[in-house]
Amino acid sequence: MKGDRVKKRIRIILIVILAIIVLILVAMLFAFRHELKTLSSLEEKSEGVYTMTYDGDYGFDEFLESGAKSDADIENYVTKRLMKGLPININSADPGCTAFVTRNEDGDVIYGRNFDFVYAPCLQVFTKPDNGYASVSTVNLSYAGYGKDNLPTEGISIGNFPVLAAPYLAFDGMNEKGVCMALLSVPEAQATDDPDKVTLNTTTAVRLVLDKAASVDEAVEMLGEYNIYFSGGIASHYLIADVTGKSVIVEYYDGGLQVVEPDEDYQIASNFIAYKGLNIGEGFTEFERYDAVEEALQKNDNVLTMEQCEKLLNRIGIYDGDLDKLQWSVVYDLTDGTGRIWPHRNIDEAWYFELD
Q: By the 8 A CB rule, do 210 and 332 touch?
A: no
Whether domain 33-354 has CATH 2.60.40.420: the reply is no
pLDDT in tens, 20-38: 665 555 555 555 666 889 9
Q: By the 8 A CB rule, do 170 and 139 touch?
A: yes
Compute the distance between CA of residue 13 and CA of residue 139 in angstroms, rounded to an integer.
Answer: 49
Check: pTM over 0.85? Answer yes or no. Answer: yes
Burial class (CB in 10 A: 0-12, 13-18, 19+), 133: buried
CA 352 to each of CA 33, 140, 163, 240, 348: distance values in angstroms, whole numbers, following the listed order: 29, 19, 22, 22, 12
pLDDT in tens, 210-227: 999 999 999 999 999 999
Mean pLDDT, the chain, integer: 90
What is residue 90's predicted lDDT score, i.e. its pLDDT? 60
pLDDT in tens, 51-108: 999 998 999 999 999 999 998 898 888 887 776 555 555 665 556 799 999 999 999 9
| Average pLDDT of the residues in 126-135 | 96
Q: How confident is the model at residue 5 (pLDDT cuts 50, 70, 90)?
A: low
Residue-range domain boundaries for the chain: 33-354
Q: How confident is the model at residue 302 (pLDDT cuts 50, 70, 90)?
A: very high
Q: Give the side-chain half-sphere CA count within 13 A for 243.
A: 13
Q: By the 8 A CB rule, do 250 and 237 touch?
A: yes
Q: Judging by DSSP bridges, how do beta strands 96-103 and 199-200 pair with one another?
A: unpaired
Q: What single letter denotes the amino acid at residue 269?
A: A
